[in-house]
Amino acid sequence: MINRSIRLRFAPSPTGPLHIGGVRTALYSFLFAKKHGGDFLLRIEDTDQTRFVPGAEEYIIESLNWCGIKIDEGVSVGGKHAPYRQSERKELGIYLKYALELIATGHAYYAFDTADELDQARKEAESSGSSFSYNAQTRTKMRNSLSLPANEVELLLKEQAYVIRLKVDAGEEIVFTDLIRGVVKFNSNVVDDKVLLKSDGMPTYHLAHIVDDYLMEITHAVRGEEWLPSAPAHILIYRYLGWLDKMPEYGHLPLLLKPDGNGKLSKRDGDRLGFPVFPLQWKDPVSGEISTGYREKGYEPDAFVNMLALLGWNPGTEQEIFNMHELIELFSFDHVHKAGAKFNPEKALWFNKQYVQHLPTATLAKKLKAQIIEVLHLDSNSGILDQIYLESAIELIKPRIHFTSELYSTAPYLFTAPENYDRQIIEKRWKPALKPFFEQFLNDLEHLTNFDNTSIENCFKQTVVAMQLKPGDVLPLLRVALSGQGSGVDLFGMMALLNKDTVKKRITKFLNEINTHF
| Interacting residue ranges for ligand GLU, rule: CB under 6 A | 11-13, 45, 205, 209, 221, 223, 227
306-310: long-range contacts, CB 8 A cutoff, minimum separation 24: 306/351, 306/355, 307/347, 307/348, 307/351, 307/352, 308/20, 308/23, 308/24, 308/27, 309/24, 309/27, 309/28, 309/31
Closest to ligand GLU by CB, 223 vs 258, is: 223
| Residue 267 a catalytic site member | yes
Nearest to 344 by CA among 380, 315, 308, 372: 308
Nearest to 99 by CA among 208, 234, 189: 208
Rounded to whole angstroms, how far apart are CA atoms 251 and 66?
25
Rounded to whole angstroms, how far apart are CA atoms 234 and 229?
10
How many other CB atoms are found less than 10 A from the CB of residue 177?
11
Query: In this structure, what are the phi and psi dihedrals at residue 105, rounded to the nearest 5 degrees?
Result: -90, 5
Of 35, 267, 367, 509, the active-site residue reads 267
Rounded to whole angstroms, how far apart are CA atoms 255 and 225?
7
Q: In whole angstroms, how close is the CB of 253 to ligand GLU at the nearest point?
A: 10
**SS in 3 state form for 314-348?**
CCCCCCCCCCHHHHHHHCCHHHECCCCEECCHHHH
Q: In whole angstroms, how close is the CB of 13 to ligand GLU at the nearest point?
A: 4
Within 8 A by CB and 6+ apart from 352, the residues are 298, 299, 300, 303, 304, 307, 402, 403
CB 419 within 8 A of CB 507: no
Cα separation of the two ends of the chain: 78
User: Would you call the peptide bond into 83 cis, given omega within 30 degrees of 0 as the criterion?
Assistant: yes
* Length of the chain as a residue count: 518
Rounded to whole angstroms, how far apart are CA atoms 246 and 446?
82
Conformational region of residue 175, where left means phi above 0, alpha means psi within -120 to 50, and beta covers everything else: beta
Q: Which helix (H) or strand (E) holds 223?
A: strand 220-224
CB 19 within 8 A of CB 277: yes
Q: In whole angstroms, how close is the CB of 86 to ligand GLU at the nearest point?
A: 9
Rounded to whole angstroms, how far apart are CA atoms 211 and 74?
15
Query: In this structure, what are the phi and psi dihedrals at residue 167, rounded to the nearest 5 degrees?
Result: -100, 100
> Rounded to 5, what percent of the chain is helix, strand, coil?
50, 10, 35
Rounded to whole angstroms, how far apart are CA atoms 268 and 265?
8
Rounded to whole angstroms, how far apart are CA atoms 45 and 167?
24
Q: In whole angstroms, how close is the CB of 227 to ligand GLU at the nearest point?
A: 6
State the Cα torsion 396-401-403-408 to the nearest 10°.
Answer: -50
- Catalytic residue numbers read 267
